[in-house]
Structure 1
């Protein structure tokens, strides 16, 4: 994922902390659901990045279109899964959003650390 050995250490550490904190407050499922959305988003980012690296001979226009498709797909997935958790599963909004946001912050920290 975001580290050299394949494990996003900062992201997983933050998600574990969020899960434990919200487990104490009784809404661990919502935090874990938000964390899983964050990890899925991370895996899609890495998949897109690896796909771009494998196709070095493509034109700039094709490369831009691949990036646009990746961003649209990830944002649609993020919105759909978040709304599903909030509206259908009736999960705690605070725990879900905090799990999701801190997971993304952990992903960014991993990227900065491993540059």
Structure 2
């Protein structure tokens, strides 16, 4: 039995989730969380090349339509094969602040 979540962070978010695919436990839990109306914060973090895929902007828009809070700064996305230097630009602080705000709203 899994503990009850009051909010979920999806880091990094994938194309598959935005298509409603539930072929893994993680994706199944995320799709169920959407159905339960749990607050979800997603941080899609592809490299620049993947972000240019036509499905990516549509996937981000779909998540927003589903009331998922999306943190995405196109200018901070890493270059392909950037490794650790690309990881440095990840918006950890913004994610932390957003989760605190989401959880605080639940208590209000």
Structure 1 length normalisation: TM-score? 0.32
Larger Rg, first or second structure (1 or 2): 1
Q: Which has the higher strand share?
A: 2
Structure 2 length normalisation: TM-score? 0.33
